[in-house]
């Protein structure tokens, strides 16, 4: 299509901003996570690990893997459920409807993980803050529901043991 006299021709010069390299993104990841006040362990091969602390899910591991085009984030929510797999999977699929940066998946062992990908070009402090905030919020909001549905027999046995030993009930049975 030939440009008309009223329209300027398209600019043939490429975008002067080159895409960041994986090493540059890894450096931005380290700086961004540390600026949020979190420790970050360098596991090698472009992999980094940090931990978040939630209200219901006390320890939330977050693994970043810097690749050639994106940063993959993975966080373990819970192990493979003992039972009620259909109910647990339905709960997670409904939660995925409201996903932003991350969504639920199963790993090779059937453990429940949050996972997502972020293009290298958008990794900055604000994006990391938003991403980690979502991992924390989704983990905390979903954890007890997954435990109650997928680990009900274990929770019942623990509650019976607590009652027999004059201990208060575990809040997972009544909260979240």
Task: Give yes or no for a contact between 151 and 88, defined as CB atoms under 8 angstroms apart.
Answer: no
The answer to the question of residue 176 being in a domain is no
The answer to the question of residue 34 being in a domain is yes
The answer to the question of residue 13 being in a domain is no
**What pLDDT does residue 9 have?**
61
Into how many domains does the chain fold?
1
Task: Give yes or no for a contact between 37 and 82, defined as CB atoms under 8 angstroms apart.
Answer: no
pTM of the model as a whole: 0.81
**How buried is residue 87: exposed, middle or buried, by Cβ count under 10 Å (0-12/13-18/19+)?**
middle
**What pLDDT does residue 158 have?**
77
CATH number, domain containing residue 33:
3.30.1460.10
* CA 156/CA 110 separation, integer angstroms: 23
Ranges of the chain whose pLDDT falls below 50: 1, 3, 174-176
**What pLDDT does residue 173 have?**
58
Which residue range(s) make up the domain with 108? 22-164
The answer to the question of residue 58 being in a domain is yes
- The residues, any chain, with a CB within 8 Å of residue 51's CB and separated by 6 or more, are 38, 39, 59, 60, 61, 62
**What pLDDT does residue 176 have?**
43
113 beta partners: 76, 105
pLDDT tens-digit profile of 4-45? 556 666 666 565 677 889 999 999 999 999 999 999 999 999
The answer to the question of residue 172 being in a domain is no
Task: Give yes or no for a contact between 60 and 135, defined as CB atoms under 8 angstroms apart.
Answer: yes
The answer to the question of residue 136 being in a domain is yes
**What pLDDT does residue 1 have?**
46
The answer to the question of residue 124 being in a domain is yes
**What pLDDT does residue 174 have?**
47
The answer to the question of residue 47 being in a domain is yes
Three-state DSSP state, 117: strand
């Amino acid at each position: 299509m030939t440009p008309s006299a009223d329209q300027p021709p398209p600019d043939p010069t490429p975008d002067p901003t080159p895409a960041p390299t994986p090493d540059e993104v890894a450096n931005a990841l380290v700086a961004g996570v540390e600026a949020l006040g979190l420790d970050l362990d360098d596991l090698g091969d472009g992999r980094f690990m940090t931990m978040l602390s939630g209200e219901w899910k006390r320890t939330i591991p977050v693994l970043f893997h810097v690749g050639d085009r994106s940063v993959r984030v993975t966080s373990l929510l819970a192990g493979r459920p003992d039972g009620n797999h259909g109910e647990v999977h339905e709960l997670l699929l409904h939660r995925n409807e409201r996903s932003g940066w991350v969504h639920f998946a199963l790993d090779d062992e059937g453990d429940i993980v949050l996972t997502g990908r972020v293009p290298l070009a958008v990794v900055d402090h604000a994006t990391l803050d938003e991403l980690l905030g979502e991992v924390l919020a989704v983990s905390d909001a979903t954890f007890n529901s997954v435990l109650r549905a997928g680990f009900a027999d274990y929770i019942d046995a623990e509650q019976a043991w607590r009652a027999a030993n004059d201990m208060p009930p575990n809040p997972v049975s009544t909260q979240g």
